Chains A and B, each alone.
Chain A
């Protein structure tokens, strides 16, 4: 009899209550429940960041059309990150919280606020400077890098699918950090810190994470 080790396992034929795609991870030592929770925390941070990129940076960068465009790239790519990781949460047996409030509360990275608003409690009394806004954005990219790097660390050599998704997101977060360093270094300090950035093909290009495109026409399709 020919041995077919990959055609055997603990999930009975026809059993639809369990997934071999999950059992494989457990066998390799992944704490699937914890991984799901981390992915939901990260998804919440991506979701929230789409909101504040849009509301904070792009809306309040009057006179800086170049920054607005780069901010829009980062905003749409964060939305893409949310879209990319969402199906994986369900594949692994998880679910988003049924309350948006609960979802926002559990974000793995801080909520950003427009500078000069006392954490969003009132409109800014003075127009925030571009440097202040870029600082907020830079720090949010850094938290995103730390969060997705952690998922890569957990999944490396054990969960190639989640690793691949997280690595694609991480690629773009690393680019975002470099962009905002370049902009902030010049805007605030008059220093050149090149990021290698020229331009995305179109807003929302998301060169690494766009296979779960959420909008039609233009980039991502």
Chain B
């Protein structure tokens, strides 16, 4: 965005083993693509924002899920993101490997989800 200073974002990933990695991206790049570009190994399957394999928990920041195939307001309220089809709208801190937690959230809210994540 011209002039508003939000073109570059820093994304910090917290892995289950406690390690942290920060990558730099812009508002047009999917978060998963940015992670891959930086050499991070993160799970994915459908890669269209549908099956929850790439789910993360958003500890800080905001994402745009316009391109995700199935993402509900309740997902956002619960702090989950599908990074294969989400772009950053702020600096982000994300906890990776949250597919099972997101599936359980969907089931608890009677929202559709694959089970085999």
A71 within 8 A of B: no
Known: A108-B51, A109-B51. A146 touches B45 (CB 8 A): yes
How would you classify the secondary structure of chain A's contact residues: helix, strand, loop or mixed? Answer: helix
How would you classify the secondary structure of chain B's contact residues: helix, strand, loop or mixed? Answer: loop
Say how far A13's CB is from chain B's closest CB, in angstroms.
Answer: 33
Say which residue of B44, B50, B115 sits within 8 Å of A110 (CB atoms): B50
Known: A109-B51, A110-B69. A150 touches B115 (CB 8 A): no
Known: A110-B69, A110-B70. A143 touches B48 (CB 8 A): yes
Evaluate contact between B115 and A139: CB separation under 8 angstroms: no
Q: Which residues 124-167 in A have Cβ within 8 Å of B in the complex?
A: 139, 142-143, 146-147, 150
Known: A41-B51, A110-B69. A34 touches B116 (CB 8 A): yes
Evaluate contact between A106 and B48: CB separation under 8 angstroms: no
A39 within 8 A of B: yes
Say which residue of A36, A37, A107, A146 sits within 8 Å of B47 (CB atoms): A146
B46 within 8 A of A: yes
Residues of B within 8 A of A105 (CB): 112-113
- Nearest neighbor of A143 in chain B, beta-carbon distance: B46
Evaluate contact between A150 and B113: CB separation under 8 angstroms: no
Q: Which residues 1-47 in A have Cβ within 8 Å of B in the complex?
A: 34-41
Say how far B11's CB is from chain A's closest CB, in angstroms.
Answer: 23
Say which residue of B45, B50, B69, B70 sits within 8 Å of A150 (CB atoms): B45
Say which residue of A34, A36, A146 sits within 8 Å of B46 (CB atoms): A146
A36 vs B116: C-alpha distance when bound (angstroms): 8
Residues of B within 8 A of A37 (CB): 114-116
- Nearest neighbor of A31 in chain B, beta-carbon distance: B116
7 A-B pairs (CB sep. < 8 Å): A41-B114, A41-B116, A105-B113, A108-B45, A143-B46, A143-B50, A147-B46
A residues sitting closer than 8 Å to B (CB atoms) are 34-41, 105-110, 139, 142-143, 146-147, 150
**Additional A-B contacts beyond A109-B46, A110-B70, A146-B45 (4; CB < 8 A):** A37-B115, A106-B115, A108-B45, A143-B46
